[in-house]
Each structure stands twice: as C-alpha cells, then as structure tokens.
Amino acid sequence: MRHDGAEWPNRVRWFDVAWVLFTFANLGAMLLVPDWETVPFHFIWVSLTILYGFRVWRTWPTVLVLTFVMATTGALIYLDVVSSRTQLDELTEVPLMAAMFAAMVWHARRRLAATEEAERISLDNVRLLERERRFVQDASHELRTPITVALGHAELIQRQASDPTIAEDAAVIADELTRLGRLADRLLLLASSVELEAPHAVPISVRRSTVDAVHRWTATHRQWKLGPTVDAIVSCDADRLAVALDAVIENAVQHTTETDTIEVGVQRDGREAVIWIRDTGGGIAAADLDRIFDRFARSEPGRSRHTGGFGLGLPIVQAIVQAYGGTVHVESAEGLWTRFEIRLPIVEDPIAATADDVVLVEGDARDPVG
C-alpha cells in the first residue's frame, strides 16, 4: 500500500497549501526583518521536516522542494551577507539543514519501503493460506467417497471370508481405511475452523456429553475411570463437542498401555464447566507442551502414527472449543501423567448431580452415572 504522499503533486492536500503559504510568509519575514531572519529560517526547515514526515513524497518532488528551500533561504542570507547585515558563516546553516533533512528522508524512505514489503508479504501469505485451505477442503471432500466405498468392500470381505488369514487382512484394511476417514474428516474440520463461529449452538448437558464420550471408548483395553462429575449447561453443538472429546480421549489412548488408567470427569470453576481427561501414560515433554496445539506438529522423539503424535486431533479440539468461547489447557509430567482440561462458559445452572470414583468395566454398556 502506497503512502498518500507518494501521489504528490498530482493530489495537493490542504496542508501542502498551508505549508507553501507559511513558507512564503517566513521568506518575506527574512527579507523584511534581516536582524530576525534566523527565526523564520528555522521555521521553514522545521516545518518542511514535519510535513515530509507525514507525506513522504517521491524522490523528484522531494528534490524539487529541497532545492527550492535551499535556494530561497540561501539567497536571502547571501543578500544579507553582501549588504553586511549578517556574517558569512550564517550561510553554513543552509547546507547543514539540508544534510540533516536528507538524512531524515533516507531513513523515512527505508522505513516506508520496509513497511510496504511487509504488507506485500503479509498479503501473499494470506492468499497462500486461503489457497491451502481450499485445497484441503476439496481434497477432504474428494477422499470421502472412495474411502467409504473401499471400507464397505473391506468389511464385506471380512464378514464373508472363510480363511482366517484373509479375514485378518481385511480387518487390517478396514482399520486403516477408518483411520484415513478420520484423517479426512479432521482435515476438513481444520480447513473450515476459521469459519467456526459457534454454528448450531444450543444448550446441552456437558455431563451427558462427557459420559457418552467415555462409553464410546470403554471397549478399548484401558483401565477406564469416571471421576467426579457435576452437571452444567453450556451453549455448544453436541456433535462438535463429541468430536473434541473423542480427539482428547483418543490422544490419551494412543499414549497409554492396557495397564494405564484414563480418568474423565467434570467440575465447575466459577462460571466455567471444566471437562478433564487424565491418563497415566508416558506424559508430554516440557519442550512440546507449548506447541501441541499447532497444526501438524508432532512431539519428539520417536512418535509413529501408531503411537500417535500431535498432528490433527488437538488442533481440532482447540478450534472447536474456542469457537464456543472456551479454552483448552494441558499439564503433564513426562513419564508419569497428562491432564487435559476443556473449559466452556456455563449458560445455565441445573440441579447438581455427581458420580464419584465409578470404575468402568471394560466394554461395560451400563450408564456409569445412573
């Protein structure tokens, strides 16, 4: 974006006209009052510096104005020197003021050029991010259909296969296609996260959503535990909250073993409902805590796609929760435990109900709260 002053003299501003009038008035004062000429002389140069600071003209208008001011002020001082009304050394102020002004022009133009370059790079980055977002959205949409078709055939082969080896191979294919389907869904959600502005937000029970999420995962071989739960009503989309909870719980599953415990609970902190997920797995290195919500970031060392990594799940959690006015926090002790907190603003206070320290039996379909 070009500074307004770069258009001078094609577009004359009122303060340009005011400066010209002010300059000629001071030139007249220098001519008529020789004993007082130092004051209007400095008025001219100081006002020129101030005006240029606001306008930052192009090179040739700057040279033109500088030449005019040097010539007029220098000529008037020279006339006074010739008529012995001032000393010859007064003429040295003209090149001195011109040199100081030229130095200021050089710095101002460097800063303007740097600003314009930064704005250009910023605009290019915005366009690049928009192209990337559209590409991810299109790719995710295109992937859904072939993944669904392939998954259907893999499951059909698995059910009808008489050879255990073929059935086992088909199960592996189905698992990988399911994983790929989740990846496509997450990519699509991340690509549209900029537009997430609390879509379809309705009052929902955060306790009910949390319990349902735990039920979905109890078939996985872990030591599941439902901690204390206190109900609260939040304004959210139930499906989006389920995606966020599944992503955090899946992260816990990926970084624990069958002997580890995954505990989930709900509590209140002022006007916020806090959903927390704590596991006794390998924890997160302190160096990774600040970046686990970055898109496509993965913790080091040695995380494979089977042990997880912080690629897409946690950024999705943050995008969803922030869309509904909430926040996500994480604490961890490497090698010992990790605790995630999802905080959402409470919009209604139902009658409190709790379920303390209920151990979920693996695969148990019972309501652990009821």
Determine contact, residues 98/70, Cβ cutoff 8 Å: yes
Determine contact, residues 263/225, Cβ cutoff 8 Å: yes
- The pLDDT confidence band at residue 357, using thresholds 50, 70 and 90, is very low
Q: Where in the chain is the domain with CATH 3.30.565.10?
A: 202-359
Report the predicted TM-score, pTM, of the whole model to 2 decimal places.
Answer: 0.53
pLDDT digits (tens, 9 = 90+) for 43-85: 888 888 887 877 777 777 878 888 888 888 888 888 877 777 7
Axis-axis angle for helices 14-32, 38-55 (nearest 10) = 170
Fold of 202-359: Heat Shock Protein 90 (3.30.565)
Joined tokens for residue 132: 């990337």
Question: What per-residue confidence (pLDDT) applies to 301?
Answer: 43
Query: Do β-strands 261-269 and 223-229 pair in parallel, antiparallel, or remain unpaired?
Result: parallel
pLDDT digits (tens, 9 = 90+) for 185-216: 766 666 665 454 556 788 999 999 999 999 88
What counts of helices (H) and strands (E) characterise the chain? 8, 8
Neighbours of 161 (CB within 10 A): 15
Determine contact, residues 370/258, Cβ cutoff 8 Å: no
- The pLDDT confidence band at residue 176, using thresholds 50, 70 and 90, is confident
The sign of the torsion formed by the CA atoms of 229, 231, 235, 239 equals positive
DSSP per-residue string spanning 338-353? EEEEEEEEEEE-----
Residue 333 backbone phi and psi in degrees, to 5: -120, 115
